[in-house]
Amino acid sequence: MKFTEEHEWLRADDDEDDVVTVGITEHAAEQLGDLVFVELPEEGITVAKEDEVVVIESVKAASDIMAPVDGEIIEVNSALIDNPALVNEDPLGKGWFFKMKVADMSDLDAMMDEAAYKKFI
């Protein structure tokens, strides 16, 4: 797994070399509080790093999730629409937001590994 300074995680897909699953970290989920709404991107759209792709609202605040790298959104976790609390319950598992086909996998090399992220927070 790789981590961003914006508290997102990326996990490489075992089956496809250029696909990652994206979500927010446990730390971010705790800071936000209970999620009550998630707006996911459309499948098939191309995004650039830092593009707003997900809108989340919690009991504390609204927040945007940005694209961590350039690529194409190929799948979204539609279970979050009816149950945004999945992000709080299992942020590193069932609470993922989207899968994307990454334009350049070497972009992940500059991101933090788990040890560096723990030091960061």
Q: Beta partners for 10?
A: 2, 22
Reported confidence tier of residue 77, pLDDT bands at 50, 70, 90: very high
Query: Of 115, 21, 27, 32, which is closest to residue 77 (Cα–Cα)?
Result: 21
pLDDT tens, 16-58? 789 999 999 999 999 989 999 999 999 999 999 999 999 999 9
Give me the CATH code for the 2-104 domain, please: 2.40.50.100
pLDDT of the residue at 13: 85
Whole-model pTM? Answer: 0.93
